[in-house]
A and B are shown apart, each in its own frame.
Chain A
Amino acid sequence: MEFLVNSTWLMASEEVAEAGAEAAHGLSFAGLMFYIAVTLLVVVGFLAVAKTGLNTRFFKKPATQLLEQLYVFIEGLCVNIIGPHGRKYIPMLLTLWLMIFTGNLVALILHAGPTADLSFNLAMALIAVGYVQYEGMRANGVLGHFSHFAGPRLPLAMALIITPMIFIIEIISETMKNVSLSLRLYGNIHGGHEAVVAMNKLGGGWVPVGDFLFPIKLLTCVVQALIFCLLFAVYLSLVTHHHDEGHDHGNDEGHAAPAH
């Protein structure tokens, strides 16, 4: 029960108090794991470069084929969720997917990792949500983006009461996106470790019962990376959808799009 109490204030007070020595010289274990994950990613990138066989029908290197599958998957995710103009977000989503997945793998094997740390996840969530705001402002203009928060256009008498309420609630939900993205990843990865530690005690020191959770933790690694990218794509599609797509709510200036 102790970890539940500790982990809530992890980011603010307790970590600083406990890890004061580490924080003093700016090195922490999670940071080291981050560099390990980045190094792994760079190595995989070098392994996957195809120097030959570019004119054949498919790549002959296995590593290239593997990453091509990943690219096709992310491309499908972008095009299906964001729409035809979603193709330009592929690099961002692919980077996030690779970083989260590698971080999860490091956390899975080394029992400490960047994604098992709330600060790294919060940083990634801030980047993602900030990028969503930036893209929304670029697609709709600054005023258009903020008027998107204010809900549908209403008659004046109702708008005076309801629009500020909707605006405040939308702003809160926008900031909650940070919390939800980061806390979900952190809770799943860190909670997996805690479950392993708690279940290892069941074996009485002889049988590591918790380590049999490895397959489900491996599944969690893939699914959490997927969900982060999926939600990022959904947020992007909400702010950048164009008027030629059927379902859009509250963004057009009061005129219904003609049926087509």
Chain B
Amino acid sequence: MLPFALGLSALGCGIGLGLIGYGAMQGMARQPEAIGKLQTAMLIALAFVELVFLLTVFVGAGAFKP
């Protein structure tokens, strides 16, 4: 059951990262002069979404004790 749950969490993380990339790409395409600011905000958001997955893997999966 744990591998399936990990796969689900990876799916959610992938959707979140994809949405952030989608939004940032659209913003960059519409306003190329704002790329610097968009990249900074995008990286911060990516880091926070990624953290959820890392917490799932390292804390959640460890607490399961299969």
Report which A residues bind B (CB closer than 8 A).
1, 4-5, 7-9, 80-81, 180, 183-184, 186-188, 191, 223, 226-227, 230-231, 234
> Contacts A184-B51, A184-B54, A187-B54 given: A81-B61 contact, CB under 8 Å?
no
The bracket for how many chain B residues form the interface is 20 to 34
* Beyond A183-B55, A230-B43, 5 extra complex contacts between A and B, CB < 8 Å: A5-B65, A184-B50, A184-B54, A223-B43, A227-B46
CB pair B54 A183 closer than 8 Å: yes
Residue numbers in A under 8 Å from B36 (CB-CB):
80
In the complex, what distance in Å separates the CA atom of A183 from the CA atom of B50? 11
Decide yes or no whether B57 CB sits under 8 A from chain A. Answer: yes
Closest to B6 in A: A4
Min Cβ gap A120→B in Å is 16
Docked CA distance A97–B22 (Å): 28
Known contacts A80-B36, A180-B51, A184-B50; A4 and B43 CB within 8 A of each other:
no
* The residue from A1, A188, A230 contacting B40, defined by CB atoms under 8 A apart: A230
Restricting to B16-66, which residues have a CB under 8 Å from any CB of A? 36-37, 40, 43-44, 46-48, 50-51, 54-55, 57-59, 61-63, 65-66
Which residues of A are found within 8 Å of B61, using beta-carbon distances? 4-5, 8
Main secondary structure on B side of the interface with A: helix
Q: Choose among A5, A7, A231 the residue that contacts B47 (Cβ–Cβ < 8 A).
A: A231
A4/B47 contact (C-beta < 8 A), A9-B62, A81-B40 known = no
Q: List 20 A-B contacts (CB under 8 A).
A: A4-B62, A5-B61, A8-B58, A8-B59, A8-B62, A80-B37, A180-B48, A183-B58, A184-B50, A184-B54, A187-B57, A191-B54, A191-B57, A226-B43, A227-B46, A227-B47, A230-B40, A230-B43, A230-B47, A234-B44
B7 interface residue (CB < 8 Å to A) = no
In the bound complex, CA of A80 to CA of B35 (Å):
13
